[in-house]
Amino acid sequence: MQAPDAIPGDTEPPPDHRDSPAPSTDSAAVVGKVILMGASVRSAAASARRGGLRIWGIDRFGDADTRDLCEEFQQISGPDQIAAALRRAKARWPDAAVVAAGDLITPPDVEVDQGRWCEAKTIRCRDLWAQAAGVSDCRFPATRPIVDEASTAHQHRRQSVDHDRWLEKSMTGTGGLGVRWSDPNRKFQPGMTFQQQWVAGRTHGVTYIADGAEARMLGVCRTITTRFGDLPFIYAGSLGPVSLQQSTQDRLQRLGQSLVERTRYRGLFNADVVLSGDQPPWLLEVNPRWSASMELVEHTLAPEPSGSSPATQPSLIRWHVRAQSERLHTWVRVPNPNHSIHRFKRIVYSLRAGRLCSQAIQRWCRQLHAEDQSIRCTDIPAQTDDIAIGQPIVTLTGILTPQTNYRDLIRQVQSLVS
């Protein structure tokens, strides 16, 4: 299996600035404001609210509970509208921190937090991933760029000889929307698509927090996927955090530390990995932002002391903001995760095209909350609308017990599409 070339010229580690943290790029930790942007910002907004932050939300769905969490909200129809939406938000809240709560394809073409965008772009480098995996006793699948159609045809001829299974992955996709089995007949966007060798095992999301010099692993959740059409790996939820063997924990901690030492990245980030027993983890990709499984990790972290007040549940969005200007060791007293509590997150997708009545969904959610306090219905549609096959209806979250039967709840939700 061939690995990508190492990063040219990266023979010596960058200078260590652990005792002199970089200055804050915004005053959000003082004024308590965040602008959250993503396909759906509901889970990040819930974290920010828990941390006492004022929220300006920008997303594509505009769900009822998302709007309730936000002081200001803008709904957009696609990534081409994010720049204008963010300019408007920054004009009103110029001192707010801008936090990516999901992948909106490309950084907006606006002059805000450029240093942070550069850090995020640096950590989204496949050669960096391969190098960090190598020094952390992890593995990285053979990966190669797609340059043009001629090279793609040549690569498919090679696959027919070596019998490897390959995936085509887009750098602009999220939630599995940019991952397909390799197909020589498919049109693609040169430079934005690459091929990666498929590896067997179960995919997990690893949550980290970093301050530019130190990374801490906060938890690992197993990923649930489903298939729609030619998209075999659509994100459908998470389970966890899960307990890992000590050797695997050590490798994943070294992986996060290696990535941060090479990029000086600050804030939350997620690594998608494949785990199989006690074998070294396979690193698939790194996302420098809030990720879907982080709300499960957040709920199992030890409560934080709050002066004379009772201890409160941590807010990872507030941690992300603080990490831009503070060293972790000066304020993070956790992780001390309680892995005896396992939680689930399950996105319910529609299996047919039809009409989704928001009032019917809201009544069903209220009834669920009255009957079972351990399960919550979130991402609730704000208005009645048409729905297509494969579109999300709601998200179910809660504590996972032997008695939990969320599959029956999924069928109940899906039956509400008329």
pLDDT for position 401: 79
Residue 152's closest CA among 197, 199, 190?
190
**80 — phi, psi (to 5°)?**
-70, -15
Beta strands in 353-391 (DSSP E): 354-356, 375-378, 385-387
pLDDT digits (tens, 9 = 90+) for 271-310: 999 999 889 999 999 999 999 999 999 988 877 766 545 5
Tokens of 36: 């959250």
Is residue 75 scored above 50 in pLDDT? Answer: yes
Write down the pLDDT at residue 314.
85
Q: Which tokens hold the place of 374?
A: 């351990």
DSSP H/E element including 368:
helix 358-371
What confidence score (pLDDT) does residue 21 get? 44
pLDDT in tens, 207-230: 999 999 999 999 999 999 998 888
At 184, phi and psi to the nearest 5? -70, -15
Other beta carbons less than 10 A from residue 42's beta carbon: 26
Distance CA 53, CA 71 (A): 10
Beta bridge partners of 63: none
pLDDT beyond 70 at 65: yes
Work out the angle between the directed axes of helices 358-371 and 406-414 (0-180°, nearest 10).
160
Distance CA 317, CA 320 (A): 5
CB 204 within 8 A of CB 242: yes
Alpha carbon distance 175, 102 (integer Å): 9
Mean pLDDT value of segment 359-373: 89
Instruction: Quote the pLDDT of residue 129.
Output: 94
Which tokens belong to 278?
């006690």
pLDDT of residue 333: 67
What angle in degrees, to the nearest 10, is found between the helix axes of 246-263 and 114-123? 130
Alpha-carbon gap, residue 107 to 383, rounded angstroms: 29
**pLDDT greater than 90 at residue 115:** no
283: which strand partners?
273
Helix (H, G, I), strand (E, B) or coil at 297: helix
The mean predicted confidence, pLDDT, of the chain is 82
> How far apart, in whole angstroms, are the C-alpha atoms of residue 187 and residue 178?
13
Taking the alpha carbons at both ends of the chain, their separation in whole angstroms is: 50
DSSP code string of 231-277? EEEEEEEEEEPPP--HHHHHHHHHHHHHHHHHH--EEEEEEEEEE-T
Of 92-106, 217-231, 367-381, the range with the lowest mean pLDDT is 92-106
3-state helix, strand, coil in the chain (%, to 5): 30, 30, 40
Task: State the pLDDT at residue 187.
Answer: 67
Measured distance CA(112)–CA(88) in Å, rounded: 12
What is the C-alpha to C-alpha distance for residues 140 and 159, in angstroms, rounded to an integer?
18
Look at residue 162 and tell me whether its pLDDT is greater than 50: no
Lowest model confidence (mean pLDDT) among 56-60, 252-256, 317-321, 340-344: 340-344
What confidence category does residue 9 fall into, taking pLDDT thresholds of 50, 70 and 90?
very low
